[in-house]
Structure 1
Amino acid sequence: MSLYHYTDLEAVYSILKNNKLWLTDIRYLNDSQELHDGIAFLIEGMKTPSPDVFANFEYYEKAREYIIDSLTGLKTYGVSEDPLFLFSLSSEADCLSQWRAYGAYAIEFDKEILTSEVSKLLDCLYLDPQKNEKARLHARDAITAISNDMAKNNGCLGVDALEAVISLSYDAATFKHSGFSEEKESRIVLPSNNSEYPSNVKYRPRGDVLIPYIEVPITLDCIKSITVGPVQNQAMSYASMSEFVHSIERIWQVDSGNIEYELTVKKSVIPFRA
């Protein structure tokens, strides 16, 4: 199965040249409601979690309050010890709404290979019943884990509690408003302190804001093709991209020893000119 990342020319060049993905701090994405929808569902799930007899009821309410405070803080700007970073993909190939929203190029990834190279590749949920059910179940699991962790640590928070909150933050990052359902999005989601990728937060300017991001290494084996979108000079863009991709392909064949590796270039067939 393939997943597609719609983006601009600069990002395509960087990914192919450096073999790294840039995961953006979720608080600084273009959608101003990122996290808000997911957090609202999770907090609601905290009000009526599925019961669990294994929770420690001495610390039950304290655990629930801690989770709600953590989720509320996740969506605010400011200094954060554990910001959440993500990279968006779609299962839709050559999609007009994606071209209009995100850029003139699409990188096709092999989902199986990409999943083996990154820690968390998650599918987004759009339907409210699905989000409600998952929120209630995960609220139950988080309260159980944190209440037991507090009991074990004399009311203090340990590793289990922190991991439970991070797990909920993944949910918040993948609960999206139903209005975005046509994007059919999957996301690579990581905290900056993920043990596999030591904290390496960098910044890039966008208008008047410095956007935090982290770099995650990949191999070119997970990239199958580049599609040139419906741009004004598509023929010229296609020609130059084909030459560049051919040189990248040859270098990777030598460096990786995978002489059968093939990276193709395609044109969008949508009769729309940006």
Structure 2
Amino acid sequence: MLFHYCSLDTLLKILKSRKIWLSDITKMNDPEEYKAGFELVNSQFKNAFPHAADWLNDNHYLSDQTEYLLLACSFSKKGDDLDQWRAYGENGAGVCIGFKKSILERLNDTLIRPEGNLIDGKVRPVMQILPLIYSIHELKEKAKDILLQFKKSDTNKNAFGDDMLFNEYILGAELSELAAAFKKSFYESEREQRMILSLHRGGKLVGVNAFTAHKPVEIDYRLGGYGITAYSNALVSDKSSSAIASITLGPRNTESPTEIKYMLNALGYKNVEVNTSRGHYR
């Protein structure tokens, strides 16, 4: 189960739209977190390809030289947690939504990278849910694995020239997404998992060769706490199933669980457990 802490207003928007926002990762609470992960990944790239030391700096998703976006939505493995309530749940006045991870993934796996990834060649969804990495050593090892597989490929012989090769797009994507899955060990207690979507600012999926004619992913903009923020949507429900399994009212939330149940029923959500937090404070 994955848990998402939010306000009552956000809960209503999620339930009515049957979607959840993925927002520009640079406009999240800690604007330095992608930068920290990228610098560690980039150091491994420079070690592996010293003759092309500036390539990743120019071609990662958030480089000034590119027009890519990394969109993300944060979840936690911890439900009804005091620290999460205080940091992300309106200081306890909000709600904690419990999602079934397998259904959330299935609802959003329609677009895949059919050519597979660099590590094992397996196809994978463009939209992924990744457990965050809190260890510098683990991040470096994962970066080394990706770079080693790229070195073994035939593409490597002609890489980093004037013309961008397709596998280079995949390399840039995987290293950027890896950087986006890193967070400083200070936050390890949050046990965060992050839904990530990487795409071009025009909505075109990056590095997806077989989808050159696909319908662009819809990108919109909203005014958030950190300025104008690009975002897209992930489905949480369709006609046949819903990923929403539970709603917990926060320690300072004064709404009635019965009222929430009536609302869920009116909006077509079945078998959602509604309860109140185990804690209370003012």
User: TM range, normalised to the smaller chain?
Assistant: 0.7 to 0.9
Q: Residue 122 of structure 1: which of 122, 126, 130 is its match?
A: 130
1:170-223: CA deviations, max 9, x gaps?
Answer: 101111100010111111111133357723211111257211101223325211
CA–CA distance in structure 1, aligned partners of residues 156 and 36 of structure 2: 28
Structure possessing the higher radius of gyration over alpha carbons: 1
Q: How many Å separate the matches in 2 of 1:269 and 1:213?
A: 33
Query: Contact 1:42 / 1:172 at 8 angstroms: preserved in 2?
Result: yes
* CA distance in 1 between partners of 2:141 and 2:225 (Å): 39
Give the C-alpha shift of residue 106 in structure 1.
1.1
How far the C-alpha of 1:114 sits from its partner, in A, is: 1.4
Which letter maps to 2:274?
A: V
Long gaps (5+) in structure 2: 109-126, 206-210
Q: SS at the partner of 2:217?
A: coil
Give the letter for the 1:43 counterpart. N
**How much does 1:142 deviate?**
4.5
- Note the 1:68-87 alignment, pairs <5 A: 68-71=57-60, 74=62, 81-87=67-73
One-letter amino acid of the structure 1 residue matched with residue 36 of structure 2:
D
- For 2:51 and 2:162, the matched residues in 1 are separated by 9
Shift of 1:153: 9.8
Structure-2 change in CA distance of 1:6 and 1:156 (3 Å): same
Aligned residues: 246
Which whole-Å CA distance do the structure 1 matches of 2:28 and 2:178 have between them?
17
Q: Distance in 2 between matches of 1:9 and 1:68?
A: 40
2:100 paired residue among 107, 110, 121? 110
Which residue of structure 2 aligns with residue 272 of structure 1?
281
CA distance in 2: counterparts of 1:32 and 1:17, whole angstroms: 30
TM-score, normalization by structure 2:
0.78
Give the C-alpha shift of residue 125 in structure 1. Answer: 0.8
* Structure-2 residue corresponding to 1:224: 245
Identity of paired residues, percent? 28
Contact 1:149 1:157 in 2 (8 A): no
Give 2:208's aligned residue.
Answer: none
Residues 77-111 of structure 1 deviation map (CA, whole Å, 9 limit, x = unaligned): xx952110011111111111111111221110111
Matched residue, 2:18: 19
Contact 1:27 1:75 in 2 (8 A): no
CA distance in 2, matches of 1:178, 1:111: 24
Q: Distance in 2 between matches of 1:206 and 1:65?
A: 33
Q: Would the aligned equivalents of 2:24 and 2:72 in 1 still touch at CA under 8 Å?
A: yes
8 Å contact kept, 1:99–1:229: yes
* Mapped contact 1:84–1:190 kept (Cα < 8 A): yes
Contact 2:98 2:246 in 1 (8 A): yes
TM value normalised by structure 1: 0.80
- For residue 231 of structure 2, give the secondary structure of its aligned residue in structure 1: strand
- Aligned-residue Cα RMSD (Å) equals 2.6
Who is 2:141 aligned against? 133
Q: Hey, what does 1:175 align to over in structure 2?
A: 182
Q: For residue 31 of structure 1, what is the aligned residue in structure 2?
A: 30
Distance (whole Å) between structure 2 residues aligned to residue 144 and residue 188 of structure 1: 29
Of residues 187, 204, 219, the one that matches 2:194 is 187
C-alpha distance 5-197 of structure 1, shift in aligned 2 (>3 A): farther
Q: Which amino acid aligns with 1:91?
A: K
Match of residue 261 from structure 2: 242
